């Protein structure tokens, strides 16, 4: 039984015992934290063999998160684009509206099993903070979220959500008052009390064991998707596409297909206002090897090795680093990394909303936009599976204000026809 149950966690591509994927990963930390990470690693390796833990995880996935999430064939979109069939793995339908709840549930169950009283984390736009605060409320753990004071003001609804859920939001006033300083503050707080607290990282980044652990907790996405798509089309898809910020939703779906070499895999980075401007966060496309937040990976950095300020319309994608396994998969060319601009993402955001009645998160819109481009190079009997990492409710006001709808349907007399024209417009790019 334990064997059957552990199949829901992908452990077959573990990094080596020091947490390296090739030359990437590891743990670059002060000695105190180094010991703490080793303890988390030991606790994690033990717990994934424990049937009671797996059972609790599976129960919450099913009855709380709402898994399995369905796969949906976006027929109208595919037809309008004219090429391969686009299918969507609907992580937007999870409780809290994105994939992040998958690893937050795993992290809080681990925290509980380790006897921790409090979970702590940093958050940028607040999505990770909300997912963790949700999981903490569910398990009765205290929750401290560190957030730059600029972000606190910018992301008021998520701050309210966290407070309602019982989390303490700690404003970080120093430095740039945004994500990077929030990470530093959270690490410092963690060092002060690593016994009662545990740091829950929000993606497949940070020191070992987090890139491995977060990937394993997300791997349910790929495991489900493989079974579902086989049932729907009788084979595997020709291509998988996911957006890459830190890279957790992408690793979640990719991990099930890495050994299926007939499946092409694409990770999509944010090209922001263009790769030739400083305003992007395309870490793999434009970065170089460095160390940030305790791990070695590709990094957008200056000559001194300081992380550069990064930008994307999708705040969940603007991180100057990327999960070490992605750097590795790039180096061995198993995954192809491409990028999509803000404007292309917005076109996909409107396009999917109009063609299918699904409003995607701006992060996920990057994956949809790339799938739209890719589909045109493929015949209609081919299949592209997109990981739709989250829903776009959080983005609607911002998009309408900064990218007025009228600009995207200039000649539309009838809106739906207008959007066919608009898709044709994407097509010629
Ligand atoms: C946070 C977020 C992302 C980016 O995080 P990854 O770790 O790269 O998956 C993508 N999509 C949504 C909806 C998010 O909230």
Q: For 354-402, what is each residue's pLDDT tens digit?
A: 999 999 999 999 999 999 999 999 999 999 999 999 999 999 999 999 9
Q: Please compute the mean of the pLDDT values over residues 211-231 and round it to a whole number.
A: 98
Beta-bridge mates of residue 143: 119
Domains of the chain: 15-64+100-215 (3.40.50.1100), 71-97+218-428 (3.40.50.1100)
CA torsion sign for 165, 168, 171, 172 is negative
Q: Rounded CA gap, 302 and 305, in Å?
A: 5
The alpha carbons of the chain give a radius of gyration, in whole angstroms, of 20
Q: What is the pLDDT of residue 410?
A: 61
Ligand 1 centroid to Cα of residue 248, in Å, is 7
**For residue 320, what is the DSSP state?**
S
Asked if residue 203 has its Cβ within 6 Å of ligand 1, the reply is yes
Q: What is the pLDDT of residue 276?
A: 97
- Among 89, 91, 100, 327, which one carries the catalytic annotation? 100
406 is catalytic: no
122 is catalytic: yes
| Pocket perturbation via mutation, ligand 1, pick of 313, 318, 389, 392 by most ligand atoms within 8 A of CB | 389
Q: Rounded CA gap, 217 and 213, in Å?
A: 6
CB atoms under 10 Å from CB of 226, counted, come to: 19
Asked if residue 386 has its Cβ within 6 Å of ligand 1, the reply is no
Ligand 1 centroid to Cα of residue 250, in Å, is 9
Asked if residue 245 has its Cβ within 6 Å of ligand 1, the reply is yes
Residue 23 above 50 pLDDT?
A: yes
- In tens, the pLDDT along 251-284 reads 999 999 999 999 999 999 999 999 999 999 999 9
- CA-proximal residue: ligand 1, atom 14 (nearest): 316
Q: What is the pLDDT of residue 181?
A: 86
Beta-bridge mates of residue 73: 87
| Pocket perturbation via mutation, ligand 1, pick of 134, 248, 320, 339 by most ligand atoms within 8 A of CB | 248
Asked if residue 390 has its Cβ within 6 Å of ligand 1, the reply is yes
Q: Which residues neighbour 413 within 8 Å (Cβ) at sequence distance 6 or greater?
A: none
46 is catalytic: no
Ligand 1 centroid to Cα of residue 259, in Å, is 24
Which segment, 169-183, 217-231, 400-414, is predicted with the most confidence on average? 217-231
At residue 277, φ and ψ (nearest 5 deg) are -110, 170
Ligand 1 atom with the shortest distance to the CA of 204: 7
The continuous run of DSSP H or E covering 127 comes out as helix 127-139
Residue 409 above 80 pLDDT?
A: no
- CA-proximal residue: ligand 1, atom 1 (nearest): 316
Q: What is the pLDDT of residue 111?
A: 98
């Amino acid at each position: 039984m334990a064997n059957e149950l552990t199949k829901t966690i992908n452990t077959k591509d573990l990094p080596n015992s020091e947490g390296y994927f090739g030359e990437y990963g590891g743990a670059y930390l002060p000695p105190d934290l180094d010991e703490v990470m080793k303890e988390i690693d030991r606790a994690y390796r033990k717990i994934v063999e424990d049937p009671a833990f797996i059972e609790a995880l599976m129960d919450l996935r099913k009855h709380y998160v709402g898994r399995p999430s369905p796969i949906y064939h976006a027929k109208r979109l595919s037809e309008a684009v004219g090429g391969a069939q686009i299918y969507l793995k609907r992580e937007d339908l999870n409780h809290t509206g994105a994939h992040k709840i998958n690893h937050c549930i795993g992290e809080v169950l681990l925290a509980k099993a380790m006897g921790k009283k409090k979970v702590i984390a940093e958050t940028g736009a607040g999505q990770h903070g909300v997912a963790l605060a949700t999981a903490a409320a569910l398990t009765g753990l205290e929750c401290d979220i560190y957030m730059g004071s600029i972000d606190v003001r910018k992301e008021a609804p998520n701050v309210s959500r966290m407070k309602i859920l019982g989390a303490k939001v700690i404003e970080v006033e120093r430095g740039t008052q945004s994500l990077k300083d929030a990470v530093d503050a959270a690490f410092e707080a963690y060092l002060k009390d690593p016994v009662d607290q545990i740091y829950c990282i929000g993606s497949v980044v940070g020191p070992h064991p987090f890139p491995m652990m977060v990937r394993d907790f997300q791997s349910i996405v790929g495991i489900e998707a493989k079974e579902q798509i086989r049932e729907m089309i009788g084979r595997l898809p020709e291509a998988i596409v996911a957006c890459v910020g830190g890279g957790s939703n992408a690793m979640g779906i990719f991990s099930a297909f890495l050994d299926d070499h007939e499946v092409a895999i694409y990770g999509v980075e944010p090209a922001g206002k263009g790769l030739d401007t400083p305003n992007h966060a395309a870490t793999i496309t434009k970065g170089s090897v460095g160390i940030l937040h305790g791990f070695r990976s590709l990094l957008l950095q200056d000559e001194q090795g300081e992380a550069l300020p990064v930008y994307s319309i999708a705040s969940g994608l603007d991180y100057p680093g990327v999960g070490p396994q992605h750097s590795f998969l790039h180096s061995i060319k198993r995954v192809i990394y491409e990028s999509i601009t803000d404007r292309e993402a917005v076109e996909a955001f409107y396009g999917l909303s109009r063609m299918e009645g699904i409003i995607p998160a701006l992060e996920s819109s990057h994956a949809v936009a790339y799938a739209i481009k890719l589909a045109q190079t493929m015949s209609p009997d081919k299949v592209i599976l997109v990981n739709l990492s989250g829903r776009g409710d959080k983005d609607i006001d911002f998009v309408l204000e900064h990218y007025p709808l009228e600009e995207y349907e200039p000649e539309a007399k009838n809106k739906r026809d207008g959007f066919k024209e608009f898709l044709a417009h994407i097509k010629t790019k």
